[in-house]
Structure 1
Amino acid sequence: MDAPRQRCDPPASAGPHEPFDASSDAAAVVDTAGVVLGWSRAAEALLGRPAAEVVGRPAARLLDTPVNPLRAASVAERCRSGMGWSGVAALRHRDGHRLDVDLRVSASFGIGGGECFLLSAREGRERWTMDRSVLDGFLVRSPVGMAVVDRDLRFVWLNDTLERIGGVPRDQRLGRRLSELLPGLEAEPLEGMMRKVLETGAPVTDYEYGGWSWADPYRRRAWSTSFFPLVDTDGTVTGVCYMVLDVTERWTARQLLSLVNEAGTRVGTTLDVMRTAQELADFAVPRFADFVVVDLLEHVLSTEGHGTWLTDAGPAPARAVMRRAGLRSVREGCPEAVGRLGDRVDFLPPPHDARLLIDGEPVLLPVLDPADELWVTQQPERAERLRAFGLHSLICVPMRARNTVLGLTTFMRSVNPVSFQPDDVLPARELVARAALCVDNARRYTREHSAAVTLQRSLLPQALKGGTALEVASSYLPADPRGGVGGDWFDVIPLSGARVGLVVGDVVGHGITAAATMGRLRTAVQTLADMELPPDELLAHLDDLVLRLSEEMTDDEAARQSSAAFLGATCLYAVYDPVGRTCTMARAGHPPPVVVAPDGRVSFPEPPAGPPLGLGGMAFEAATIELAENSLLGLYTDGLVEGGDRDMEHGMARLAEALSRPEPDLRKLCTSAVRRLLPDPQPDDVALLLARTHGLGADHVASWDVPADPAAVAELRALATRQVADWGLDELVMTTELIVSELVTNAIRYAEPPVRLRLLRDSRLTCEVSDASSTAPRLRHARSTDEGGRGLFLVAQLAHRWGARYTATGKVIWAEQEIP
């Protein structure tokens, strides 16, 4: 070394076995290039190399293994930052043998303008020895349970903590195995891990398990255990040491989290209140309790009304009226229960009243005494069940969600001898809270769905009448409740001249919006049909209505609703005339009707397919077909023939097959066809309307040409009254004479020829006068000084109803009379 070396002797207080003495370490000074600048006497003694042989040469020559450049650079960078480094290094002695030393590198410092590092090394660290009494005291008084077992897994030593945890005295443990002492533990897995440690020498750490011990035989606890081998000086494994730590709180918290998470997947799988309550009871038995009942307030189970108990609801009644919605026991048939599912119950644990439900705090009764005076006097039958089946502990948790009281859930134990403890209240509360949200969601959904279904069914026709022209039957199948109510609808509308209007439609979307829109369209069709519009014109007016309804939606309403909330609708409108046995129809984006001839042949006549309602800008066209007597006409919505697993053509073929089967009862045929095509609930609702046609025979129709001569009115009156009398309608002879006189006279005076008079005898007696004029008469109320203007007013008074309809060649004025 260039600088004179100064020898530092160790202090007098440092003995040869002091573990923290560093005065005798070998030292050297190295520059940034790795060249040795200084070499101490301790370094000479450690490696057997004098200073003259080392100073000025690379320090790397002293290493037993090649230098790792990346490691050397990182160590140097750390030391330049003002921090030192320590580790293990392998050096080569002068005589060639290897030395494993503890090496330390100081923070960099300057010498003569250069940067250097001080390195110190020593061969291993001397063991820190201590008095035997200190070690024994540490092991015995440690808060961790410790034990040593031999190769036969028999106890040879244990500390006081383990003796206290297990509840078995030390003298009874020594010489015996774990499986012989603590049957409440998982002895076989534990001993299996000990054998594995003996065989492999690999330790096992933090193995958790649950069970009970003799120290607390009525409460399940959890422990974390670690095992490591005991090795002799010759490397032989002589036994296993294991350490036990009580982790019950951690284990309980994890079990609670797991229980609540699992409940989230098992409870509330459906939007059904009763099913959700039963799922809670099924989940809690036997995981948490031996007997569980879920009682819900009656208004929760009701689909009508919205009565709720709120926190500020004021005084509560003494007894709450509830119904049993969930029931489960470890015993078959739930013999502990006083009430069964659906029964009205009023169970509240004495001395609590209905205020318990409003306050919402759980009730814990660790020990149930069936001989208690309150149970005997207030609930004698339940007290007897408690005694008979050994129900010894109880937790009652009010069910509340969104500031609404729903009911009460009661957990009891009988087979499980461990009583409920305060720690069990939290999992009970969490389970009920999860279930309460599901029950409230189901309650709200059930009410909304019931309201939508009620609205939808109220907007559909309650009774269908086809008169003598048609025998009609219908079948409506709601959608799967998860999809919400739809907008399918149908109707049968009596028209003048013994004709009947048939309509079926489908509003796009689901929910109350679709149902309400369906009601609007059905009302509009009835109004337009009453105006005697032909099918194509009726759909054109209906299309305008749908456009206006869409425009009425504000921007906020459109943003709140989904894109499919209301984009339009499809519709098919047909008018059947029994006189000519013709059916005129037009459709707006709707599937074609199905026709089954009397001989069983099935066809799908396709009138021109107009656009769906709500698009606008396109015309609708009508087509007319002839139907033989007793033909079957079917109108349906797309849900009947379409689905996720089939296309429309396949569905129409199946519909044809279902309707071609002979069945005189039209209602049975309609119902069976729907069930055959759709045996399972579908995401869309379905409507099927069937009509069996009948013609109006020649003996029910009489017609005459009307000359353009006022003198012919008298002859026509006579012909008409004679025909009415021949039909046996003597009571209508006089009124018919007046109606014919007024209508024919007006036609001769104001209309264009040809004029024709027709009488129809159907469910009503109809008088029709047709002409070639396109102007319709208007009802006026004549003043007392007017000489005329009372004709149509008189017709309106005498007839049941009257009106006008336009035809391709002109118009028809008609008046109907009720047949007595």
Structure 2
Amino acid sequence: MREPEHRGPGPASASVSGTAAVVLDCDGLVIARSERAATLLECPPGETCVPLLGILPRAGTDAGPVGYPMTVAGDDHAGHKGPLVCTVVRLAAHAQGGAGGVTQWLVLIAPAETAEEAAERDARRRRTGLSQAAAAGIGTSLDVIELAETLVDLLVPDFADLATVDIAENVLVGDEPPHFRTSGDVRLRRTAAAQSPEISAEELLAVGEALPPVTDSTLMRPLMEGLPVLVPDVAVLQAALGVDPKAVPLFVPSGAHSSVAMPLYARGLILGCVTVWRSQLPSAFGEEDAALLKDVVSRAALGVDNARRYTKEHRSVVTLQRSLLPRSALDSAAAETVGVYQPAGGGSGVGGDWFDVIPLPSLRVAFVVGDVVGHGLEATAAMARLRTAVQTLADLDLDPGELLTHLDDLVLGFSEEQMSGESHAEHAGRSERSEPAVLGATCLYAVYDPVTGQCAAAAAGHPPPVLLPPDGEPVFLRVTPGPPLGVGGVPFEVTEFGVRPGSMLAFFTDGLVESRGGDIEEGMERLRGSFAGADPKLPLDELSRAVFDGVRPQESVDDAALLLARLHTLAPDQVAEWQLDADLSLVARARELVVGKLSEWQLDELGFVTELVASELVTNAIRYAAGPVGLRLIRDRVLVCEVSDPSSTQPRLRRARETDEGGRGLFLVAQLTDRWGCRFTGTGKTIWTEQPIDRTPPG
């Protein structure tokens, strides 16, 4: 429970509405007086005003106009007696017959406030201040808890000695509460509380705890209708709560003398309840206080409802984006990867940056990092379309340059859809929008082969990755930057490079290195220096987080993503490859080579299927490609069998008829293996198959 800063009333002052004026000479003779002065004092003009004579300064003690607040006894003509507050001001001296001046005094007189008047004025000031502060401060936040804390700080200490806010549990997670019928159905959780230092509330329910149910009663029934409950006497409340006497201290603070409870009521739904208590403030809550609290809490209820809606939408968007991003840590035969993403401002918002790790056939892996300009739901939706498109194109096993070319065409299509949809809506007189366009998007796509240790990458307006050799300085790869996606008509150049075992690649978006008013080149050098000073032997998640936090600007204006990959290379004894001439008599030799290698690898249980698969694929390659045929086996978590030939003809799977003499080879391959496919290379094509390897020990 927090103690807000003291905002108590200032010193009492006299009312100026009844101020009177009297002019006296230095002997106390009344020279002039105002009409109001005649009602406050018996001091006719030309006579000495005895009550004021004693407050006049002695001659020569004041050289200029000076005020003297003093109190004298008063007696107005209405018969009311009371003290008067007087202020004495020296007037300019008036000359008499050329000799020195005669001193005159102006006395300002006003009735002093009574204690009741001062208390009422102070109460009015508090109410006015609370109303103004509520209008200015409530509703500026879209966080339910922050809004509740703001509310209790406004109420304490000027309006109440203790204030609590309890919110329905559904609302705290962004859901809409049901229509509660009785107070016993309401499930609230204490969300915020503030108190004056003098009040005792040690046994009161703490923030974060759930309130025990309160049975339905005449006292609680107005709350269910959105009305305040005013309790001028707390003893009445203790008797009417209808809870176990032992639980009363959870609800009622010790020493409180009055209370007001007001539900957070919006759209006919109870979102929570605000309760205020007075202990040190002398006056009990009254009807005016209850009306003011109702006004303040009504503002807060709208703010809570808006915050609840925002919480629900934000939670949905965050869930959507998290579902679109891959797991933060992945480990495959090709690489161990860790990704870090953070929206603009470092909060829990969403944006258009993304990264991806896509397994490819033959144990290869694709690394993707991209950036859609903008923030919020539209950027996230556009990112989702791009990521889905990249995954689909990656499944076709295209080289990086060709993949980005297709992606560029898709983005152009997205933009045309956007313009077409807006034009149609404009002609129809509607303001609705079609699918979000992907404008200003960048992307980098790289493919790594753990068998050859080669990597191929292409970029569409995206910063190059960082290569961290196992025993050298980090360097930015010289990937030729193409235009951003959506420009169209420009090919994307593929850059190929080799990596040594133990190397790391770092892919990132510009939000990691770009700052407001800063140079992106400086940010990239900062990133390179951060990797140079880091321990490459650290666990990948620790290394990625240390680099991310150390490089990203403090006041980032853009989303940021970092994908770190520690690359693996397959051992030589995990790969076997042979080159065969285009001679059908060598098909038997291919079968012998496959069976022998599987026996050497102790994978005899895969021998029959792999022998059949290799025989069919090699036979087709020799029969239709008319060139040298490559045969390769790769062993890891799966067994890969590849057959390469110089033909660019796409193999086609079909179901042979009973009368056909051929056409069953690929059908058998597809039925016997876990996966199969074809990819095109610079020299032809490669057909691949995969079979799972059972590592379960026998018995």
Calculate the TM-score normalised by the size of structure 2. 0.81
Give the C-alpha shift of residue 356 in structure 1: 3.2
Q: Does 1:677 align with 2:551?
A: yes
Q: Partners in 1 of 2:71 and 2:570 — Cα distance? A: 106
State percent identity of aligned pairs.
Answer: 45
* SS of residue in 1 equivalent to 2:501: coil
Equivalent AA in structure 2 for residue 258 of structure 1? G
Q: Residue type of the partner of 1:621?
A: E
Q: Which residue of 2 aligns with 1:242?
A: 110
Q: Distance in 2 between matches of 1:385 and 1:689?
A: 51
Report what 1:655 is aligned to: 527
Paired AA for residue 643 in structure 2: V
Looking at structure 1, the residues matched to 306 and 228 of structure 2 have their Cα atoms a distance apart, in angstroms, of 22
Shift of 1:454: 0.7
2 CA distance for matches of 1:697 and 1:465? Answer: 21
1:799 is matched with 673
- How much does 1:416 deviate? 1.2
2:401 aligns to what? 536
Shift of 1:605: 0.9
Over alpha carbons, which structure has the higher Rg? 1
Aligned length: 620
Superposed, which structure 2 residues align to 1:615-764 within 5 Å? Answer: 615-644=487-516, 646-660=518-532, 661-664=534-537, 665-678=539-552, 682-764=556-638
Using the TM superposition, give the Cα deviation of residue 798 of structure 1 relative to its aligned residue in structure 2, in angstroms.
Answer: 1.5
In the TM superposition, 1:97-246 aligns within 5 A as: 139=39, 149-150=52-53, 152=55, 153=70, 155=72, 157-160=74-77, 164=80, 169=81, 194-195=87-88, 197-198=89-90, 236-237=104-105, 239-242=107-110
Shift of 1:731: 1.1
Q: How far apart, CA to CA, are the structure 2 residues paired with 1:808 and 1:510?
A: 40
Q: Contact 1:396–1:411 at 8 Å: present in 2 too?
A: yes
CA distance in structure 2 between the partners assigned to 1:240 and 1:725 by the alignment: 116
The counterpart of 1:498, out of the listed 341, 349, 363, is 363
Deviation per CA, 1:61-96: give whole Å up to 9, x if none.
xxxxxxxxxxxxxxxxxxxxxxxxxxxxxxxxxxxx
Tell me how far 1:396 sits from its aligned partner: 1.3
Report deviation, 1:200: 7.0
Q: For 1:240-639, what aligned pairs fall within 5 Å after superposition? A: 240-242=108-110, 256-268=127-139, 270-303=141-174, 305-309=175-179, 315-331=181-197, 335=201, 338-346=204-212, 351-352=217-218, 355-369=221-235, 373-375=239-241, 377-378=242-243, 380-381=245-246, 389-462=254-327, 465-480=330-345, 484-553=349-418, 554-555=421-422, 566-639=438-511
Query: For residues 385 and 800 of structure 1, what CA distance do their matches in structure 2 show?
Result: 64
2:327, 2:621 → 1: CA distance? 40
Change (3 A) 1:751 1:465: farther
Shift of 1:407: 1.1
Q: 1:462 to 1:200 in 2, by over 3 A?
A: farther
Q: 1:721 to 1:253 in 2, by over 3 A?
A: same
Structure 2 Cα separation of the partners of residues 593 and 817 of structure 1: 33
Decide whether the 8 Å contact of 1:756 with 1:771 is kept in 2.
Answer: yes
Contact (CA 8 Å) 1:491, 1:503: kept in 2 or not?
A: yes
Contact kept in structure 2, 1:540 and 1:619, CA below 8 Å: yes
Q: Which runs of 5+ in 2 are unaligned?
A: 1-34, 42-49, 56-69, 94-100, 695-699
Q: In the superposition, relative to structure 1, how do residues 261 and 776 fare at CA in structure 2: closer, same or farther (>3 Å)?
A: same
Task: Report deviation, 1:248.
Answer: 9.5
Q: State the shift of 1:366 in Å.
A: 2.1
SS of match in other structure, 2:633: strand
Measure, in 2, the Cα distance between the counterparts of 1:149 and 1:321. Answer: 67
Contact kept, 8 Å, 1:475 with 1:689, in 2: the verdict is yes
RMSD: 3.5
Residue pair 2:544, 2:564 contacting (<8 A) in 1 also: yes
Residues 84-114 of structure 1, C-alpha deviations (whole Å, 9 max, x = no match): xxxxxxxxxxxxxxxxxxxxxxxxxxxxxxx
Is the deviation greater in 261-270 or in 657-666? Answer: 261-270
TM-score normalised over the length of structure 1: 0.69
Confirm or deny: 8 A CA contact 2:515 2:553 kept in the other structure. Answer: no
* Paired residue secondary structure (1:691): strand
Deviation string 1:257-277 (CA, Å, 9 cap, x unpaired) is 432222344445543211211
Question: Aligned in 2, Cα 1:335/1:755: closer, same or farther, shift over 3 Å?
Answer: same
Contact 2:336 2:565 in 1 (8 A): yes
Report deviation, 1:694: 2.2
Q: Which amino acid aligns with 1:795?
A: V
AA at the equivalent of 2:644:
S
Cα distance in structure 2, aligned partners of 1:240 and 1:529: 91
Q: Distance in 2 between matches of 1:499 and 1:699?
A: 17
Q: Distance in 2 between matches of 1:510 and 1:335?
A: 45
Between stretches 586-595 and 382-391, larger displacement belongs to 382-391
Q: CA deviation at 1:686?
A: 2.3
Q: How big is the shift at 1:350? A: 8.4
Shift of 1:552: 2.8
CA distance in 2, matches of 1:595, 1:426: 68
* CA–CA separation in structure 1 for the residues paired with 2:37 and 2:527: 91
Deviation at 1:408, TM superposition (A): 1.0
For 1:662, the aligned partner's letter is D
In the alignment, the residues of structure 2 paired with residue 581 and residue 622 of structure 1 have an alpha-carbon distance, to the nearest angstrom, of 16
- For 2:610 and 2:290, the matched residues in 1 are separated by 86
* Larger deviation, residues 481-490 vs 783-792: 481-490
Partner of 1:57: none
SS of the equivalent of 2:355 reads: strand
- What code does the residue aligned with 2:597 have? Q
Q: For the residues of structure 1 that align with 2:36 and 2:522, how far apart are their CA atoms?
A: 88
Partner-residue secondary structure (3-state), 2:234: coil
Cα distance, 1:331 vs structure 2: 3.0
CA distance in 2, matches of 1:331, 1:637: 51
Secondary structure in structure 2 of the residue aligned to 1:411: strand
- Offset at 1:353? 6.5
1:730 maps to a residue whose letter is D
Distance 1:136 1:743 in 2: 117
What residue number does 1:773 align with? 647
User: What's the counterpart of residue 16 of structure 1?
Assistant: none
8 Å Cα contact 2:177-2:270 kept in structure 1: no
CA separation of 1:368/1:760 partners in 2, compared to 1, >3 Å: closer, same or farther? Answer: closer
Which residue number corresponds to residue 812 of structure 1?
Answer: 686
Deviates more, 1:753-762 or 1:282-291: 753-762
- Greater RCO structure (CA 8 Å; 6+ sep): 2
Shift of the 747–565 alpha-carbon distance from structure 1 to 2, 3 Å rule, reads closer
Distance 1:328 1:593, change over 3 A: same
User: CA shift at 1:234, angstroms?
Assistant: 7.5
Provide the rounded CA distance (Å) in 1 between the counterparts of 2:183 and 2:150: 29
Shift of 1:400: 2.2
Contact between 2:501 and 2:567, CA under 8 Å: does it hold in 1? yes
Structure 2 counterpart SS, 1:287: coil
Paired letter, 1:790 = R
What's the offset of the Cα at 1:364? 1.6
Q: How far does residue 299 in structure 1 lie from its aligned partner after superposition?
A: 1.1
Give 1:237 deviation, angstroms.
2.7
For the structure 1 residues 336 and 816, does the alpha-carbon distance in structure 2 shift closer, same or farther, using more than 3 Å as the test? closer
Task: Output the amino acid matched with 1:356.
Answer: P
